[in-house]
Structure formats: structure tokens, C-alpha cells
Structure 1
Amino acid sequence: MPVEMTPTEALSLWHRVALEEVRRGGHDLSFRQVAILLHIYLVPPPHTVRGLAAALGVTKPVITRALDTMGALKLVDRERDQRDKRNVVVKRTLEGALYLEKFGDLIREEGRRAIERG
């Protein structure tokens, strides 16, 4: 069942989610990094640097920088494509899956609170 929200209510929900993520000491990811991470986990693989750049409408260096950060946080992993050494394949990790599951739970929790407030 879809929930109807005004733009202000939607922004308020996002604000509460962001605040709670900061309070919990979550990873300090940019919108771009979150968009890339969600794409990797929500769109079926395989994922390559080239494919991610095309899907998000950014350059390969932009993807590479974001993956450097997310790789250091163990949210994703990269390896050379064994069939085509020119491609870098981006892999999901257990840490990344757990991070997004907790983040999804946080969004649901804050959304439920917003509904309860009326």
C-alpha cells in the first residue's frame, strides 16, 4: 500500500533517516556513492566500471573514485574480468549487503514512525 506524502514530509523522512545514520556512526557516503551502491545491489549483476558509468551518466574515473572509497569500507570488491582483461567487474560483499539491509531497516523504521505520527 503506497503512502502519500507531501514533498516536505518526504524530505523530513529523509532528514530523520540521515540524522539517525549519522548518530549510529554509519558510513559517510555521498549521494553518488549511495546511488552506485544501490545499483550494484538492486540491479542484477554483472557490473563493470564501464557499465556503472553508463547507467549513472558519469565518467569511469568518477565511478573508480567512488569504488575506491566503498572498497576501503568493504562494501564492494573489484576484480579483472578473466574473459576480457580490459573490464573491471564490481562484486557485492557480505559487508555491503549487511550495510544496505540495516539501512533499509532504518528507512522502514523511520517511515513507520512518520505514519504513526499521522
Structure 2
Amino acid sequence: MARNLKALGLWRTALIASVRQDGPDLSARQMAIMLQVYLTDPPHTVRGLAATLNISKPAVTRALDRLSLLGFIKRKRDAEDKRSVLVQRTVKGSVFLSDFAELVIAAGAVAPEDLATIRAEEELATAAKARLEAELTAASPDEAVAVEEAVQ
């Protein structure tokens, strides 16, 4: 549960930072499409995006309309299949996602007070390990095996 809360807290921090900027707010669907187009190998089509994301083709088309207006993607007729439209990346979309990635990275940065806690926990773990190793060294061979089995 704590791990889930930490992950959601990071996502929340990144989203709040994104909303506070001057840039456009993307819906979850628009962001999912952006990430799919930019993080997976082309070609990308409406049909393919709909299948991958398990959403309808009209929903993909509406999201692409908005992303296209923002200049984050562009559409191009497939030269091999005139019925198909390819979804392509743009420089503006790459810059947007790069900036968003920086927000996510910043959200995951360890705060100084968290770093102090981490260091204290590491010191405790190191001390506990040293004590255990000392006990194993001082113990008879049979006792050492029993301690090792108990630890595992």
C-alpha cells in the first residue's frame, strides 16, 4: 500500500507541475496516445492505436484531432494503403514529452529530509549485518548453519 501511495504521489506531483505550466492540459487518453506514438516504433494508425489501447476508433480520432491542433502529432496518408492514415511524431510533441519527463524526474527526486531517513536506515542495516556476521564468526559450525537458515 505504501508503494502505491508513493507512486500516486509522484504522479500527482508531476501532474500538478504540468498543470501549473503554461502548456496545454492533456486528458489521460490523449497522454496515453502520445506516449504510445512516441515510445513505440512506428507505423501508428488509428486502428492500431485503438486496438493497443482497447478504445474505439472514434475515441482515438477525437484525441488525435486535439493532439493535431496542438501540433503534437501529424497525420499522413499511407502511400501503400490510401485508406489508412499514419500518425506521426512532431518536434513540438517531442519537446512537450521531454518537458513532461523532466517533471516526472523532478517529482521522483529525493528530498533532503527523505535522504537523511534513507541514510539512517542504511546505517542501521549495516550495523545489524555486522552484528550477525560477528555472531556467525563466533558460533560453532552447527550454530552458524542454524543462524543462516533462520535468517533465510
TM over 0.5: yes
Residue 25 of structure 1 and its aligned partner are, at CA, apart by: 2.0
Q: Which has the higher contact order (CA 8 A, sep 6+)?
A: 1
Q: How many residues align?
A: 112
Q: How does 1:1-118 map to 2 (within 5 A)?
A: 6-112=3-109, 115-116=110-111, 117-118=113-114
Q: How many Å separate the matches in 2 of 1:63 and 1:39?
A: 12
Q: How many Å separate the matches in 1 of 2:10 and 2:52?
A: 27
Q: How many Å separate the matches in 2 of 1:12 and 1:106?
A: 13
Q: How many Å separate the matches in 2 of 1:86 and 1:71?
A: 19
- Point out where structure 1 has 5 or more consecutive residues left out of the alignment: none
Aligned AA (2:108):
G
Q: What percent of counterpart residues are identical?
A: 46
Residue 8 of structure 1 and its aligned partner are, at CA, apart by: 1.2
Which of these two proteins has the greater Rg computed from alpha carbons?
A: 2
Query: What is the TM-score of this pair, normalised by structure 1?
Result: 0.90
Tell me the SS of whatever aligns to 2:81: coil
Tell me the SS of whatever aligns to 2:42: coil
Aligned AA (1:79):
K
1:5-42 Cα offsets, whole Å, 9 max, x none, are 62112111111111111111232111111011000000
- Point out where structure 2 has 5 or more consecutive residues left out of the alignment: 115-152
Where in structure 1 do 4 or more consecutive aligned residues deviate above 3 Å? none
Q: How many Å separate the matches in 2 of 1:11 and 1:22?
A: 16
Aligned AA (2:11):
W
Higher helix residue share: 2
Query: What is the TM-score of this pair, normalised by structure 2?
Result: 0.71
